[in-house]
Amino acid sequence: MNQLILEKYFSYNFKEEIEKLKENIKNGKVIKNFIFGDYILDENQKIIIDKIEDNGKSIIIKYTGDYITDLWEMANFWPKDTGLPMIIWLQSKTGNEKHGCRIKILTKYGDKVSFSQGFFTITVPEGKIIGNTVEITTRDIKLVKKFIDKNIDIILQYWNGEISTGDFSSLIQTIHKD
């Protein structure tokens, strides 16, 4: 059984999400496309929440199923870094993933992170879209794919742990709208 520990010192109010999760436990639902504070479960992953504990300092979610990615394990790159009109996240593999290289894209334009908006994923190098792109236009999805093509070597080096986040940042080739 896996567990996700959420420290209560976070300013984010988890009360509503915890109530939704408790309802899902009661109904025995499999949870997909989970975004909880700084944690995310991709659309093709599944978990079953077995128990939620509150020890006064932390909320502990015990679950079976796939590994939940902590967005803190991923580096974010803003529009000024990439030339894209939205924030993207990249990750070096940790060994816990059940997927290959991918980029997460915020489904909201600009440089303000809004976790309530959510994310979609593009696999690298295949370019498969996972999740709902919400307000991101087809034109801008093509722009993200162009960014991936232009930076494929360093994206894969970053994924494989061959270069650091700082190295990646200095090597990025920004993209420009046509």
DSSP one-letter string for 11-75? SS--HHHHHHHHHHHHHTPPB-S-EETTEE--TT--EEEEEEEE-SSEEEEEEEESPPEEGGGEE
Can you give the pLDDT at residue 21?
Answer: 73
Structural domains of the chain, count? 2
Residues 75-95: tens digit of each pLDDT: 889 999 999 999 998 988 877
Domain that holds residue 157: 71-171
Residues 112-170: tens digit of each pLDDT: 775 556 778 899 999 999 878 888 999 999 999 999 999 999 999 999 999 998 999 99
Residues 4-20: tens digit of each pLDDT: 666 554 444 556 667 77
Residues 23-77: tens digit of each pLDDT: 777 777 766 656 555 566 665 666 667 777 777 767 777 777 666 665 556 788 9
Instruction: Report yes or no on 132 lying in a domain.
Output: yes
Instruction: Report yes or no on 177 lying in a domain.
Output: no
- Please indicate, yes or no, whether residues 148 and 84 belong to a single structural domain of this protein: yes
Can you give the pLDDT at residue 120?
Answer: 83
Instruction: Report yes or no on 176 lying in a domain.
Output: no
- Please indicate, yes or no, whether residues 165 and 152 belong to a single structural domain of this protein: yes
Instruction: Report yes or no on 178 lying in a domain.
Output: no
Residue finishing a domain among 50, 66, 82: 66
pLDDT higher than threshold 90 for residue 107: no
- Please indicate, yes or no, whether residues 111 and 39 belong to a single structural domain of this protein: no
Residue finishing a domain among 47, 66, 85: 66
Collapsed DSSP state (helix, strand, coil) of residue 118: coil
Can you give the pLDDT at residue 11?
Answer: 43
C-alpha pair distances (Å), 100 with each of 26, 114, 147, 153, 166: 33, 25, 18, 15, 22
C-alpha pair distances (Å), 71 with each of 23, 36, 91, 104: 25, 10, 9, 10
Tokens of 82: 């990439």
Give this prediction's pTM: 0.67
Instruction: Report yes or no on 45 lying in a domain.
Output: yes
